[in-house]
């Protein structure tokens, strides 16, 4: 990967790589964002399932919400744009905890943090790098994995991101949702989300949301409503066809060599040694 290629689409802010679609001016001004008490934030490391959760929330009947584009996407006019929304705002972001605007923390807005097995996340991000013109080109899986392990990818290190959020896992306003659990029992995850948001839904409605939010349905709909910039949930593209690839659990096994797995696992063990969330991934490693 040429450095020129990287520097034309990514820039560093506070030692973390961001897309140039997130202007430095906006990133510098995040703390001037004024939150509302009923705001909901969908947070994740890239390629962890933000679109999926967003779809679930959009499919809740009578939810009276507006899904906005990510808080860090665009320039300084972003905050004026967000002020225009009258309904309850659901705002996606890939920011780590320390960069989250201070007003969100002070008002204890509801936050859903989506987390996915890092090996599957790495594979998914690799394909995103290859397919998305807003990200640097990358030649091989091996070259990309090296960048991923060093945290030299967009939004930085997976480990740092997850740990920054995990240290707030007992905050009452934060709900952790695992991608793998959604795959296993979507209805159960939907129930968790609606309860957390204080929205009453019947079992019949949960089944309906579950059907509408299945991966196949989302992928089909993505082609139909492809490039509507008002429906941009990812700070890295508005092209929905790039977003839904496989959505599989355990696909990493088709990419990692035994040596790569060993290197990854050693780093995981070292970085996540004090993490309670790490236990969740033992079944998927």
pLDDT digits (tens, 9 = 90+) for 54-74: 999 999 998 899 999 999 999
Q: How many CB atoms lie within 10 A of CB 250?
A: 14
pLDDT at 49 over 80: yes
| pLDDT at residue 3 is higher than 80 | no
Spatial contact of 11 and 20, defined as CB atoms under 8 Å apart = yes
Q: Is the pLDDT of residue 177 over 60?
A: yes
Cross-strand pairs, 154: 17
**Mean pLDDT value of segment 88-99:** 97
The pLDDT, as a whole number, for residue 4 is 42
Closest to 5 measured CA to CA, from 132, 184, 127: 132
Least confident of 7-11, 135-139, 239-243, 245-249: 239-243
* Beta partners for residue 115, in sequence order: 178
Question: pLDDT of 186-200, one tens digit each?
Answer: 999 999 999 999 999
47-56, 62-71, 207-216, 255-264: which range is least confident on average? 207-216
**H or E element: which one contains 10?**
strand 10-13
Ramachandran angles phi, psi of 195, nearest 5°: -60, -45
At 214 the pLDDT is: 81
Contact criterion met (CB below 8 Å) for 124 and 117: no
* Pairing of the two strands 16-19 and 10-13: antiparallel
User: Domain ranges in the chain?
Assistant: 3-284
Residue 225, pLDDT score: 59
In a 3-state reduction of DSSP, which class is residue 96? coil
Token couple for 184: 């296993």
Give the whole-number percent of the chain exceeding pLDDT 90.
74
Q: What is the predicted pLDDT for the residue at 231?
A: 62
Cα 267 from Cα 223, distance rounded (Å): 38
For the segment 150-175, what is each residue's pLDDT rounded down to a tens digit?
A: 999 999 999 999 999 999 999 999 99
Q: State the average pLDDT for the chain.
A: 90
pLDDT at 85 over 60: yes
Average pLDDT for 233-237:
61
- CB count within 10 Å of CB 20 equals 12
- Distance from the Cα of residue 113 to its chain's centroid: 8
Point out the residues that are catalytic.
94
Query: Quick check: 228 pLDDT over 70?
Result: no
- The model's pLDDT over 20-42, given as tens digits with 9 standing for 90+, comes to 999 999 999 999 999 999 999 99
> What mean pLDDT comes out for the span 235-250?
63
Give the CATH class of 3-284: alpha beta
**pLDDT for the residue 191:** 97
- Residue 154 backbone dihedrals phi, psi, to 5 degrees: -55, 135
**Predicted confidence (pLDDT) at residue 45 exceeds the cutoff of 80:** yes
């Amino acid at each position: 990967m040429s450095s020129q290629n990287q520097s034309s689409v990514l820039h560093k802010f506070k030692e973390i790589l961001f897309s140039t679609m997130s202007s430095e001016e906006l990133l510098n001004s995040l703390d001037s964002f004024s939150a509302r008490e009923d705001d909901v934030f969908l947070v994740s490391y890239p390629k962890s399932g933000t679109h999926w959760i967003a779809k679930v929330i959009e499919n809740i009947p009578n939810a009276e919400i507006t899904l906005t584009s990510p808080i860090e996407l665009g320039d300084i006019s972003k905050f004026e744009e967000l002020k225009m929304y009258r309904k309850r705002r659901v705002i996606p972001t890939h920011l780590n905890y320390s960069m989250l605007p201070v007003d969100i923390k002070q008002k204890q807005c509801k936050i859903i943090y989506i987390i996915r097995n890092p090996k599957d996340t790495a594979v998914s991000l690799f394909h995103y790098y290859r397919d998305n013109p807003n990200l640097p080109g990358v030649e091989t899986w091996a070259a990309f994995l090296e960048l991923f392990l060093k945290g030299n990818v967009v939004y930085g290190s997976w480990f740092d991101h997850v740990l920054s959020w995990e240290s707030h896992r007992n905050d009452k306003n934060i709900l952790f949702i695992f991608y793998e659990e959604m795959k296993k029992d979507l209805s159960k995850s939907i129930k968790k989300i609606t309860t957390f948001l204080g929205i009453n839904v019947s079992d019949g409605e949960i089944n309906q949301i579950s059907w509408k939010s299945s991966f196949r349905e989302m992928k089909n709909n993505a082609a139909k409503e492809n490039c509507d910039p008002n429906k941009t949930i990812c700070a890295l593209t508005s092209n929905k066809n790039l977003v839904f690839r496989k959505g599989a659990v355990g696909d990493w096994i088709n990419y990692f060599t035994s040596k790569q797995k060993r290197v990854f696992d050693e780093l995981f063990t070292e970085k996540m040694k004090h993490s309670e969330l790490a236990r969740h991934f033992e079944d998927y490693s």
